[in-house]
Structures are given as structure tokens and as C-alpha cells.
Chains A and B, each alone.
Chain A
Amino acid sequence: MSKRKVKDQQLTVGQCVCQVHRILRERFCFQKLPSAPVGLESQHKHLLELLKRTAIHGESNSVLIVGPRGAGKTMLLKSVLNELLDVKEVKSNILLVQLNGLLQTDDRIALKEITRQLNLENVVGDKVFGSFAENLAFLLEALKKGDRSSSRPVLFTLDEFDLFTHHKNQTLLYNLFDISQSAQTPVAVVGLTCRVDVLELLEKRVKSRFSHRQIQALSPMDFPQYVELVQQQLSLPQEFPDGRFAHEWNNSVKALCEDKSVEDVLRKHFNLSKDFRSLHMLLFLALSCVTPSNPTIKPSLLLEASRLCTMDCKANMLHGLSILELCLIIAMKHLNDHYQDEPFNFEMVYNEFKKFLQRKSHSVHSFEKPVVIKAFEHLQQLELIRPVDGSASRTQKEYQLMKLLLDHTQVMEALQRYPQCPTDVNWSD
């Protein structure tokens, strides 16, 4: 072992970078759970105890984990389950049923999935037999037969919980909650949702049976913690094969986080959103530029990654337009300015365009009308303009009312950055 370690210490830079990529990608692509939930410690404890009580005492419970996307709800649940299954007393006792509102789009499918995952007797192989009604009756009967002390607790996790509330009559939820409130097989129902108003979606009978326990997966994180988190996410673990490289890497990461420009970038990100996914996206872009010839994350890499992340897609699209199309966009912008965002049609734009040509037609050719129409249609295909709702399709193309889907600033920015933009096109009166 030690021999190997000694050998490992002489890894080439290329091998080291490979290792770094492997380790960090595992982190950023959510394949690996963090050792401890960051910022959700109390929620973690609460959920763990709740589920433990179900597993060990046979107490039925229901709980909702609510939090915005990317806040770590699934991570929280997964780490709790990991920890729970480490307890020997629990491991052999609990039955897990995992449902997802995006997959189980109605109760029929959900019931089949439940019976399949519980491996009840009407399951042969992977197939569940019986009609919907029979399945329901069968499952209820099965769950009813159990009692608190003797039957195995069943843990239901309902991902995208809010989608289950759209099922007909909310039969599944009613029955799950009803079981959790009656002396049947002990169950724990854990719902994950990003909707804050989820309780209002529940029907009154279902709501009454729900225990109203909500765990808010919200972390009141501030910026220093965020930076710390970034550093932690980028650092290499102790057990990295090449100790020297790891040390260097970690030092460079530390330096990176103290860099002023990096701090600005991170603060901007932090202000935008606190969720882990967007952070991971940023770091991932930076990481992908790390090569053997460039074996550390430099502030410039992070700046570039940030630029990619926060790029405005519409402005980018404008860069690809022809001069004619750009002129039409500018004409539209003028119309918008004149008429306070009222919709326009092709003829109006064309007139505006002709006026422009008359005034300063030094550099721009005068185009035939059909060519202009073509350009106009191209803009519509790019969805830079869209027809106003309700404007009848039977009206002639030229007179169909349109709206510009670009903001004033986006047009201005695009004009400034447009490569070799003729100066008189830049008509800003």
C-alpha cells in the first residue's frame, strides 16, 4: 500500500489533471452526494428523526419538503436515506417506494409502480396484474392488513409532489395519507416539491389527513459562506493520489477565491441565485478549461465561464443577422418608441425603412419589397418578432400585426457589437 502510494506520488501532470477532472466532475454532475448537507443541517436532523421513528417505532408520518429548484431537496432526502439505511435496525425493516410525478402521471400508473416496488403477490416478474380498481383494492387491502408493530414500514417518496395533486380526485394521496393516519401498516410519506403553495393544491379531505409537517429546504446562506462553499467544492480530497499536486491545487483554489475579480464574478452569481446547480455549471465550465499545460483554475478561466453563463442569447442572435434584417429591427424599435409598444405590421416597418433609406442611403442598398418581406419573415422564424395573439391569420401577411420581442437595451448592445456595422445604420435618433 505504502509502496504504491510512493509510486503514485510520481504521477505526471497529465494523470493528475485526469484525476482532478474525474473527482470534480463527479461532484458537479450530481453523481455523488456530499458527505454532509450544506446549510440544511437542521432539516436533515428533523427528517432523519422522523423517518427513524417510522422505521423503528412504526409510527406513521407524512411530511413535505418544500424548496426552490436546486436548493438540495433531493440531496437532503438521499443523504437522510443513506444514513438511515446505515442503521442496522432500519435496513432490514423498511420498504422503499419511490415515485415521481413526472413519471407516474396518473394513479393507475402510480399504483402499478407501487405494487411493483413492494413486490406484492400480484406481481409476476415485472408485470402487475389486474385492473386499476383491483389494484387499488388489492393495495389497500395489503396495507390494511398490517399493523403498527408487526408489519414492515413502507416509505413512500413522492418526487414532484405537486403533480400528484392533479390526479383525479387525488385518490392516491388520500389513501396514502389516510393510511398514515390510521392504524394500518406504518407508512412515511415524503413529498418533494418546489411549489410553496402546495398545501392549497390539496383537496380539503386530503389536506385534513396530511400532518402539515413541512420542511423548508431553504438555506439562509450569505456571501462568505458561498465563497467558502466554492472553495470546498473545488478542493481536492486528502486521499488524492499525488499529495504534492493536491496541495498545489488546493493552494491555487484558495488564491483563486481571494482574487478580487473572482469575488466579483461569484458575487454576481450569488446575487442571481443561490442554488447549487448554477454554481456547479459555472465551476464546470471553468474546470473544462483545465488542461495539463494549464493545470490550475485561473481567475481568467472563471471570468470566461461567467461570461458564457450570463450571456444574453437574444443579443447573440442579433449578431448573426444581415444588415437588412438589422435595419428592419431598428425600424421596429423606432416604431415602438413612437407608438409606445403598439403592435406594428410589415407595411409600417417597410415605410419606416424607406424613410431611413431616403435620409441616409449612402451605404445601404435599396432592396426590392419582396426581399424585405423575406427578411421580415426570417425575423419571425427566429422569433425575434411574433404575431399578436388573436390577429387573424386570414389577414394579408403584410398587414399582420406583430410585436418585437427584443428589449431596447438588447438592440443597442447588439448594434454596438455588430462586426463591421456601417456607421449610418447605427441610427439612433
Chain B
Amino acid sequence: MSRYFTRLKMKRCYKWGGRPSLCNRKFKSCYYDSLYVSTDGQRDACLIQTGQHILVEGDDDDKPYVAKLLKLFGDGKMGLVVQWFVHFSEVPYNRRKLLGRTPHPQEIFLYEDRTCDGEIDAETIIGSVEVEHLPPDASFPETGQKGTLYFKLCWDTKAFKVVDAEGRHLDDKTPLVSVSVAPTTRVLPTPDATVMKRALSVTLSRVSASAGKLAASEVESGHSASKLSASKFLSRRRRGSCDSTPGVRKKLDLNSPNKKLTTDDVLGELLNEEIESQTEMARKLQSTPSKLPLQEFNLSPLKSSNRPSNGMSMTPLRSQRPPSPSPHTPPDHTSDWVSRFLGCCLIGFLFVFCSLTFPLFSPRARTPSQKKDPVSAIKEPALGSLAEELPEVSEQTDITPRSKRKSARLVSSRIRKQLNLLNAGEDQVFEDDSGDECFVPSKKDAGSTSEDEESGQAESEDEGISVKKRRLAASCRTPRSSRKAPASARTPHKSSSKKVVSNKPRTPRHATPGIPSRSLPARKPGNVLEEARARLHVSSVPDSLPCREQEFQDIYSFVESKIVGGNGGCMYISGVPGTGKTATVHEVIRCLQHASEQDELPSFRFIEINGMKMTDPHQAYVQILQKLTNQKATADHAAALLEKRFSNPAPQKETTVLLVDELDLLWTKKQNVMYNLFDWPTRRYARLVVLAIANTMDLPERIMINRVASRLGLTRMSFQPYSFKQLQQIITSRLNQVKAFEEDAVQLVSRKVAALSGDARRCLDICRRATEICEHSSSRQPGSGLVGMAHVMEALDEMFSSSYISAIRCASTQEQLFLRAVIAEFRRLGLEEATFQQVFVQHRALCRMEGLQPISVSEGLAVCQRLGTSRILLLEPSRLDLLLRVRLNVSQDDVLYALKED
């Protein structure tokens, strides 16, 4: 999800934690136990230790890879050894059914593939994540934090296998739990929001899980929401609008690390001791189920206490809380004193809250649709920063069941009324807010801060009163800017531009390409000839490609070896048009896909681009990216994304086979498109196989600069034009027992075509035309019903005979005379060019000889122009009038031949 994007905005620093635990002299490498990830402008660093789960930058910003940290080593640069996990979406399509159930949206799988490199750069770490192992028969928790991922199975590229808790991977799991639990207050000011969030959420969910999965259903709903598509997500979010997500936004920290919101601060300080004590308690309770009540404390008692006190009726919010699973209901003893405490503080806090939030409240912002509203986003920073003031407590977060949308709206409207009264005198707070806003470069960032707010709110929830206030705020703002809605906007840098691009083209969003379907079904071929014609159409895909066995074999083995070996490579295929280059490659891919379905091969992806099917060479990037990840982006951005995808060490789960058709059209002045296409396969982690197709054999030498040609390599293949035997075989195999042609007829066609071009398309077209002619003639005079020599000859004549001759024959008398005059003048001059005036003299003489009335100059020019528009003559522009020069576009012999017959 896009929430990871924000992090890209910041520069991260990496530092080893502690001393090297082990040194390898031979390789000059040292092993460490932990790693600090800090961000500039951040005092504290996030500690990542071995055994912890981490997020690694993937080729897709939306979906970072998940891995478990096994080793940390340094040999000049910082490296990690990890055990990969895969999302379900990374499992190849054709294998997904093996799971046999719909995956949980936050389910991941232990990835076991020996070909996959477990070594990555420390710089690719995004942050830590909580991963929880579930026993194979356990159901997934129902509600919970966004952050936590679950795994129960292992994916070894062939099948899903159960990883039982006691088995191989359990021992990997257990330390993790302890690790992530261990840093409580220490870890709190982590630079990374998600790290925080994850940490928080995991503790919670683990606790709840240990408590007999009481909270399961609630956790689940939250999780599934995060994975839904945007639109669904929105609506989901609307319903669960009060969702609190734990997590601290780093960005906010950057913007306003020491922001003082006076009132709030004071209150915060006031509350500090209570909070401290509470957290202490929470920490103590944490590992035991008895801690559970803690999560509850701020729910029910709270609202009961605040309701009477401030008249701002919160009732709907709380009372309409989804009654559903309510797993948090175990008897709470702690909640008593908390509620009491809350009760007394609440009036004050409400006041503060109102003052904070009010100025930004517009009626619109409070409507459910406000999620996307920048206004709602804008108001959040202040609150978010509030949350920052009390970071220590955030560890023991609680998820509160959210009020339904309706109730939220109700509440918000009531609060709005209240707030209208409090309008005055809150200006300075507003200024504060707007000051905050200034940092924020765009509305996206504003959007991102909304999450800060959320996280801040969630984090502070168990700290009681201050939380209370904030939560109130949240619930008032009800459909608090959802995570998804701003997501599109929130994306920083690249991702932001990507999303923006997808929005910007004013194409209606959901325009689905498609031609309306026909109202009547297409008629099936009725007789033998029609059947033959259907089979002979170039578009009909033959069962097999005859005559290209060798080429097929070569390409197949090339691609297969690359797929099996997991490395990349290029191949250049050349041949004149119509020699089956693209068809052969497609056939190879079909076979390979079949093989990989049969488990004989690792799976791979096939992508096809065509230089002719794009408007500009740089569109190649866009198309590749779109086919790879379904993202839309501008050419430059797409190039950057692809570059990243192919160069970053990441567990590329499958090889990509890229077919580049009509390569010569991807030529640009700097040749960077070609360069990239051939450079990517040479990258270590790319696993990209490029098959480039073009017409000329010497294309690399002719148009490519050296560095491009060198990267293309020497794996070349050239498709020779078909010989007549091959063409004959092609026709016969296409006809496939349909008896429509005489043997001789087929041979005639193939010989003729082979002599001219060897273009199989031509051959098929002629045969098709011959069937038509046959059909005509048989309707006139019943024949054998087979396509014979005569029909084929006629078709050949139609297609190959020069149309000049027939055009000259059908020209008018004066036109023919003019042509003769042209030839006569050429002969007289001994040149192949004459002016109209000269020709016209000849023409007049010829007219007299033929006994025709001479024509005027204007008419003569008209005749000349007519011949010029049909391109029998080549003319200069007509403004030259009498002086325009005339040339023949046909040979003189052809003209004479055509005229003689007359």
C-alpha cells in the first residue's frame, strides 16, 4: 500500500548497532547483531536486529518485499542475509489455485527457492514489520492492525507447504516475538512510522491472539480493508471510519519536532504521571492475557463519563459501536479508575480538542466523503503532533472498535454545533495549524499527515485522557481521511508522480476498451471453400508452425536455458516480413508456458511490445511498465521505475521474457531506449530475457552505436524467406485435410511467391483470393469445385500484374495520345524528361496524324494533370504552367505494350 511511500521521501542512514559479533578475516567481513536505521532530522534511530522481520524495497512501491533478517555483515558496504517471504500476489498466476482457498489479505508465505538470492543491501531496508506465525489450522485474526502479516504456509515455487509452529520455521518465529516485544519505550521514537506502527500493532495482536483470539474478528476486518481495491476500500473505510491505526508519522516529526501547542502541552504534562503509571502497568501486563482489559479501558467507561459532563453528546459514537464480535469485553478492572480519571479531565480536554480542530472544520469536511478532502487532511498535523508529545506511551496501543459511519456523522454534526459557539479566540491554534501546513509541499503530504494523526491517536489511546480528547477528535472528523484515499495523493516523489499521472489524463477513469459485440452471431463457414478460406486467413492460428523447426528449437532452448538458469539475455531475430518471426516466438512462448504449467519449468512472465504500436520510442517504457505492474506512468518515470526494478537486488520471483517487435522503430537519437532494453538483461538481478525482432540482418551494425550493439550481443538468428517447398507445406498444413485445392495449384502459388518474396502472408492471401474466384466461376459453370490452376493464375494476375498497364489501357484517347507524345519527345530529345510545351507540340502533330481535332493548351494541361494524379506521369508543380517538366513513371516499353494492344 501506498503508505510506504512517505518513507522514500526521507534519506535514511544506516549504522551498525554494537560491535561486530563475529569477524571473517578471509572475506574481511564482520557480522553484527543489529542495525540502526535513522533518518536525517531524526534523533533516534530504529533498531533492527537479526531475527526481526523487515520490509525491503521492491520493484513495486506499493508492495515492499517482506523478509526476515538472518545475518548482518559488513564488508565495505552493509549487507544483509535474509529469508524471503512472498505475498500471494507474487505467486505466479497459474499456481495460485494450489492454495485451495482465498488467501488472507495479509497472509504471506515463507519463500523457499534456492535460486533466489538471499543477500541484499542494507540500503534497501524500508523498515521492520511484524510477522506472525499461525498454526496451520488456526483461522486468521478477524480484526487488527494493518501492519501485522501472518504466515502459516511455505511456498517453494511448486507447492504450498505447511510450516508448523514446531517445525522448521517455528524456531525462526519465536525469537521474533521476543525481539519485537522487547523494545518498548526504547523503540518508541523510531524514525520510521511504520516500524513503529508495526511494532505497536504486533504486540497488540499477539496479545489478543494469545488471549484466545478474542480480538480476531476485529483485527481481521481492519486488515482486509487495507488490501481492498481503492473504491471498495473507500467505502469500507467509510464504514469503519473511526478506525484507529497505530503508528507515528515520521514526516510530522520532521516538520514539527518540537511543536508547542500550549494548551495541549500543559495537559500532556499534567497527565504525564498517570500515563506513566499506566504504561508501566501495561508493560507488566503485556505478556499475560490479563493485560487485555487494558485495551478496553478507554472505551466504554470513557464515554459514559464524558457524556453528562460536556453535553457534547458522544453517545451515538460509542453506543453504536459495532456490537459484533466485541472481543474486548472481558471484565475490566482497570477501566474503572481510568474512566473516573477521564471523567474529570474530559471537559478540559474536549475544550482543547475543539479549539484545535475547530478552525478547520467546515461542514464539508465533516461529511463522510471528507476523506478525500484536503481540508480534513490539513487539520490533522496539529493533532498528530500532539500525539508526538507523548510518544513513550504509544507502545501499548489499543484498537478501539470504530463507530459506524452513520453515528460518526451524527456526532460530527453535533460537535459542529458545539464548536460554532467556541469559534472565537482560537485563532492562534489555527495559525499553528496553518504553519504546519506550510511545510507541507502539497496536498499529498497533507494527506499523509492525516495518517500521522491516526497513528498518533492510536498510539496514545491507552494513555487515557489526552487520547480521549484526540480520539474524540477523530470520531468527530469521522470519516477521517482514510488511508486509501490520500494514498493516491500522498505518494511522495516517484510514486506521487505516478499516481498523479494516472489521475491527470482526463480519460474517464474506468474506460474499458472494447468493441460492442455483434447482435447476430458470426456465420460459420458453410462449404469446403469457405472452410478453406477461414483456415487460410493469416489470422487463424495454426496448430503447429511447419518449416521453422530449427528456429523454433533454437529460440526455445535459448529462452528455456535463461529461465532455468535464472539469468538474463538478449537475442536478435531478423528476417524479411512474413517469414514467421513473431509467430515462431509466440509459439515458443506458448510451449514454454505449457511446460511451466506442467511444472517442468519455473514460471515466467511474457511481455510483448511492438515498435509500430507506439507513438514514440519512449512509450516502450510505459508499455512495459504497464504490462509488468499495471501501473500508468509517464515515459520518464516509467523508465526510472523499470530501472529500479531491474537493477535492485530483490527476490525476482520469476523471469520476464520481453518480446520487442519492430525494434528498428525504437531508434532514437541517443538510442537510450535500445540501450536500456539491452542493458537490463545484463543486470545481475534482472532475470530478463529480451527477444528483439527486426527486418534487417545488419541492424545492429547499421543503426546502433557501439555500446548498444555490444550489449545486444551476438546471439542472432535470421529467418530466411520461405522456399517454395516450405510454402507448399504451410498451405497444406493449414488446409489440414480440407480438400479444396488441386496439388498443382498449390505448387504454382508457392513457386510464384517464393520467387518473388517468400512472404507467407502473400501466399495465403493469394490462395484465399483463388478460393473466391473458384466460387464465382463455379456458380457460373459447374466445375470440379476444387481450386485449380486457372483460378490461381487469375488470382496471381490480379495481385501481381502491374496496374499501370490496365490504367493506361482504360485511359481516354487523348490521354493515350499524350503518352505517345511524351515518348516521341523523349526519343527526339534523347532524354527522359521534357517540358509540357515540347510534349504538346508532339501531341498536336499526333492529333493531326490520327485525324483528331487538336485540343487547346488548357485541355492538354488537364490531360497531363490527370495522368499525373494517377502517377503514370511524374509532374512538377502546375504553377510552372507550360514549362512544367514531365517524366514517365512507367517504363517506355510498358507504355508501348499497353498502347499496342489497343
Name A residues whose Cβ lies closer than 8 Å to a Cβ of B: 49, 56-60, 66, 68-69, 89, 92-93, 95, 107-108, 118, 120-122, 124, 129-134, 136-143, 145-146, 148-154, 169, 171, 174-175, 178, 180-186, 194-197, 204-205, 207-209, 211-214, 216, 218-220, 268, 270-274, 310-315, 341, 383, 386, 403, 405-407, 409-410
* Cα-based distance from A169 to B889 in the complex (angstroms): 24
A121, B517: Cβ atoms closer than 8 Å: no
Which of B538, B798, B799, B853 contacts A268, CB < 8 Å?
B853
* Cα-based distance from A116 to B504 in the complex (angstroms): 21
Q: Report chain B residues within 8 Å CB of A152.
A: 515-519
CB-defined A-B contacts under 8 Å, sample of 24? A57-B525, A68-B870, A92-B519, A121-B508, A121-B513, A130-B505, A130-B507, A136-B614, A138-B513, A146-B515, A150-B521, A178-B612, A195-B869, A196-B871, A205-B577, A208-B577, A209-B577, A209-B761, A214-B799, A216-B810, A272-B859, A274-B812, A310-B855, A409-B844
Question: A182-B539, A197-B889 are contacts. A273–B515 as well, Cβ < 8 Å?
Answer: no
Chain A nearest Cβ from B526, distance in angstroms: 9
B614, A133: Cβ atoms closer than 8 Å: yes
Q: Report chain B residues within 8 Å CB of A68.
A: 807, 811, 866, 869-870
A49, B772: Cβ atoms closer than 8 Å: yes
Question: A139-B513, A272-B859, A273-B815 are contacts. A181–B507 as well, Cβ < 8 Å?
Answer: no
Question: A121-B512, A169-B612, A405-B882 are contacts. A183–B622 as well, Cβ < 8 Å?
Answer: no
* Cα-based distance from A357 to B302 in the complex (angstroms): 124
A69, B508: Cβ atoms closer than 8 Å: no
* Cα-based distance from A49 to B533 in the complex (angstroms): 14
Q: Report chain A residues within 8 Å CB of B537.
A: 59-60
Question: A205-B612, A312-B858, A383-B881 are contacts. A124–B508 as well, Cβ < 8 Å?
Answer: yes
Chain A nearest Cβ from B511, distance in angstroms: 4
A131, B505: Cβ atoms closer than 8 Å: yes
Question: A197-B871, A212-B765 are contacts. A153–B511 as well, Cβ < 8 Å?
Answer: no
Residue of A nearest to B665 (CB): A169
Question: A58-B522, A92-B519, A124-B508 are contacts. A146–B514 as well, Cβ < 8 Å?
Answer: yes
Q: Report chain A residues within 8 Å CB of B761.
A: 181, 208-209
Interface residues of B in 656-697 (CB under 8 A from A): 662, 665, 695
B507, A145: Cβ atoms closer than 8 Å: no
Instruction: Kindly state whether residue B541 has any CB partner on chain A within 8 Å.
Output: yes
* Cα-based distance from A180 to B761 in the complex (angstroms): 12
Question: A133-B622, A136-B613 are contacts. A212–B799 as well, Cβ < 8 Å?
Answer: yes
Instruction: Kindly state whether residue B62 has any CB partner on chain A within 8 Å.
Output: no
Q: Report chain A residues within 8 Å CB of B505.
A: 129-131, 134
User: Residue-by-residue, is B371-383 near A (CB-CB < 8 Å gives 1, otherwise 0)?
Assistant: 0000000000000
Q: Report chain A residues within 8 Å CB of B258.
A: none
Which of B508, B858, B871, B883 contacts A313, CB < 8 Å?
B858
Residue of B nearest to A119 (CB): B516
B520, A145: Cβ atoms closer than 8 Å: no
A175, B613: Cβ atoms closer than 8 Å: yes
Question: A129-B505, A273-B812, A407-B840 are contacts. A120–B513 as well, Cβ < 8 Å?
Answer: yes
Q: Report chain A residues within 8 Å CB of B623.
A: 137
Q: Report chain B residues within 8 Å CB of A57.
A: 522-525, 530, 534
Q: With contacts A142-B513, A274-B810, A409-B844 known, what are 13 further pairs, Cβ within 8 A?
A: A59-B537, A69-B870, A107-B615, A121-B513, A130-B505, A134-B505, A152-B519, A171-B613, A175-B613, A196-B871, A271-B812, A272-B814, A273-B815
* Cα-based distance from A131 to B577 in the complex (angstroms): 30
* Cα-based distance from A313 to B746 in the complex (angstroms): 58
* Cα-based distance from A89 to B523 in the complex (angstroms): 10
* Cα-based distance from A174 to B664 in the complex (angstroms): 15
B765, A213: Cβ atoms closer than 8 Å: yes
In the A-B complex, the 7 residue pairs with the smallest Cβ-Cβ separation, listed nearest first, are A208-B577, A142-B513, A58-B522, A218-B810, A312-B856, A121-B511, A141-B513
* Cα-based distance from A352 to B761 in the complex (angstroms): 69
Residue of A nearest to B809 (CB): A220
Question: A169-B665, A204-B577, A214-B803 are contacts. A145–B515 as well, Cβ < 8 Å?
Answer: yes
Instruction: Kindly state whether residue B715 has any CB partner on chain A within 8 Å.
Output: no
Q: Report chain B residues within 8 Å CB of A171.
A: 612-613, 615
B507, A122: Cβ atoms closer than 8 Å: yes
Name B residues whose Cβ lies closer than 8 Å to a Cβ of A: 505-508, 510-525, 530, 533-534, 537-541, 576-578, 612-616, 619, 622-623, 662, 665, 695, 759, 761-762, 765-766, 768-769, 772, 798-799, 803-804, 806-807, 809-815, 837, 840, 844, 852-853, 855-859, 862-863, 866, 869-872, 881-883, 889
A151, B858: Cβ atoms closer than 8 Å: no
* Cα-based distance from A167 to B889 in the complex (angstroms): 23
B522, A271: Cβ atoms closer than 8 Å: no
* Cα-based distance from A132 to B852 in the complex (angstroms): 56
* Cα-based distance from A212 to B795 in the complex (angstroms): 10
Residue of B nearest to A272 (CB): B814
Q: Report chain A residues within 8 Å CB of B530.
A: 57
Residue of A nearest to B856 (CB): A312
* Cα-based distance from A59 to B536 in the complex (angstroms): 11
Question: A93-B519, A183-B539 are contacts. A407–B614 as well, Cβ < 8 Å?
Answer: no
Question: A212-B799, A407-B882 are contacts. A271–B515 as well, Cβ < 8 Å?
Answer: no
Chain A nearest Cβ from B855, distance in angstroms: 7
Q: Report chain B residues within 8 Å CB of A143.
A: 515
Residue of A nearest to B775 (CB): A49
Q: Report chain A residues within 8 Å CB of B578.
A: 208
Q: Report chain A residues within 8 Å CB of B520.
A: 89, 92-93
B762, A208: Cβ atoms closer than 8 Å: yes
Q: Report chain A residues within 8 Å CB of B806.
A: 216, 218
* Cα-based distance from A346 to B863 in the complex (angstroms): 33
Question: A213-B799, A407-B840 are contacts. A205–B695 as well, Cβ < 8 Å?
Answer: yes
* Cα-based distance from A124 to B811 in the complex (angstroms): 48
* Cα-based distance from A132 to B514 in the complex (angstroms): 18
Q: Report chain A residues within 8 Å CB of B512.
A: 121
A403, B883: Cβ atoms closer than 8 Å: yes
Which of B519, B614, B762, B889 contacts A212, CB < 8 Å?
B762
B522, A56: Cβ atoms closer than 8 Å: yes
Q: Report chain A residues within 8 Å CB of B804.
A: 196-197
Residue of A nearest to B635 (CB): A133
B812, A272: Cβ atoms closer than 8 Å: yes
Chain A nearest Cβ from B796, distance in angstroms: 10
Q: Report chain A residues within 8 Å CB of B814.
A: 271-273
Question: A130-B505, A143-B515, A272-B814 are contacts. A310–B538 as well, Cβ < 8 Å?
Answer: no
Q: Report chain A residues within 8 Å CB of B695.
A: 204-205
Q: Report chain A residues within 8 Å CB of B840.
A: 407
Chain B nearest Cβ from A424, distance in angstroms: 27
Residue of B nearest to A45 (CB): B776
B514, A121: Cβ atoms closer than 8 Å: yes
Q: Report chain A residues within 8 Å CB of B812.
A: 270-274
* Cα-based distance from A134 to B513 in the complex (angstroms): 11
Residue of A nearest to B623 (CB): A137
Chain A nearest Cβ from B712, distance in angstroms: 20
B616, A133: Cβ atoms closer than 8 Å: yes
Most buried by B among A69, A131, A153, A211: A211
Residue of A nearest to B611 (CB): A169
B515, A175: Cβ atoms closer than 8 Å: no
A175, B612: Cβ atoms closer than 8 Å: yes
* Cα-based distance from A312 to B859 in the complex (angstroms): 7
Chain B nearest Cβ from A55, distance in angstroms: 9
Q: Report chain B residues within 8 Å CB of A169.
A: 612, 665
Q: Report chain B residues within 8 Å CB of A310.
A: 855-856, 858-859
* Cα-based distance from A21 to B869 in the complex (angstroms): 33
Question: A209-B761, A310-B855 are contacts. A149–B511 as well, Cβ < 8 Å?
Answer: no
Chain B nearest Cβ from A206, distance in angstroms: 8
* Cα-based distance from A360 to B444 in the complex (angstroms): 96
Q: Report chain B residues within 8 Å CB of A153.
A: 518
* Cα-based distance from A66 to B855 in the complex (angstroms): 28
* Cα-based distance from A151 to B858 in the complex (angstroms): 53
Which of A69, A108, A220, A405 contacts B866, CB < 8 Å?
A69
